[in-house]
Structure 1
């Protein structure tokens, strides 16, 4: 019963966070979720829980595909094209990690996400600051 309550609370908290987030804020949450899932996959491999490892790696691959599909490649920006290529690369690497239970490859993908995450967080903070400035009454 307590586990179900905690799960329901976690789902409500997640829904609240998503509804209140900017599009960039959602990207930040997705990156954070992918990093946590990679950490869980690492632990699962160490414990021999390969069904859990597979579930976590699949979750990360789904997140990466969602991020990739959301890119606006038609505008032709180098950033979008580079992110597209990087997301595809990470998905290929994760397939290898899953097949071979390769902790080094999991660490590589996690490091890539952890390297990019601060840039998204900075953009999100800048967006929030701009919105706060726009909402402030004139002369305040």
Structure 2
């Protein structure tokens, strides 16, 4: 199992090293969604420690990945609005952790999916126009 984890880690590190900034943002959205999905499963299984770890990882991705990547000078109102949404998502995730609220996880996942799908569509549109 240790070898499999090391191999997976190398694969993720290679993907990050070769990704452009746009791909990195999409990877952050995907990582947050994967962590939220894991938290949902752990919550349903009653594994509070694993649920808390998964939610903490999702919060970290939102706060230290997505929100930290915002350029509030160049992004203006859009960056400010995204920052507010990310803050709200982080609070939803915290509430889900403290109160075992699946609904809060679902709302956080839906908000991130809406924004993440926009990033994926932007990438797809840019590829078509090249």
TM-score when scaled to structure 2? 0.92
How well do the aligned residues superpose, as a CA RMSD in angstroms? 1.4
Structure-2 residue corresponding to 1:65: 63
* Separation in 2, partners of 1:56, 1:49: 11
TM-score when scaled to structure 1? 0.86
* Separation in 2, partners of 1:29, 1:129: 20
What secondary structure does 1:29 align onto? helix
* Separation in 1, partners of 2:72, 2:37: 30
Uncovered stretches (5+) of structure 1, i.e. residues with no partner:
134-140
Off by >3 Å, runs of 4+ in structure 1 = 125-130
Q: Aligned pairs, how many?
A: 129
**C-alpha distance 76-25 of structure 1, shift in aligned 2 (>3 A):** closer
Question: Higher Cα Rg: structure 1 or 2?
Answer: 1
Asked if the contact 1:64–1:91 (Cα under 8 Å) also holds between the matched residues in 2, the reply is yes
Deviations 1:57-106 (A, max 9, x none): 00010001121111111225221111100000111111111000100100
What secondary structure does 2:68 align onto? helix
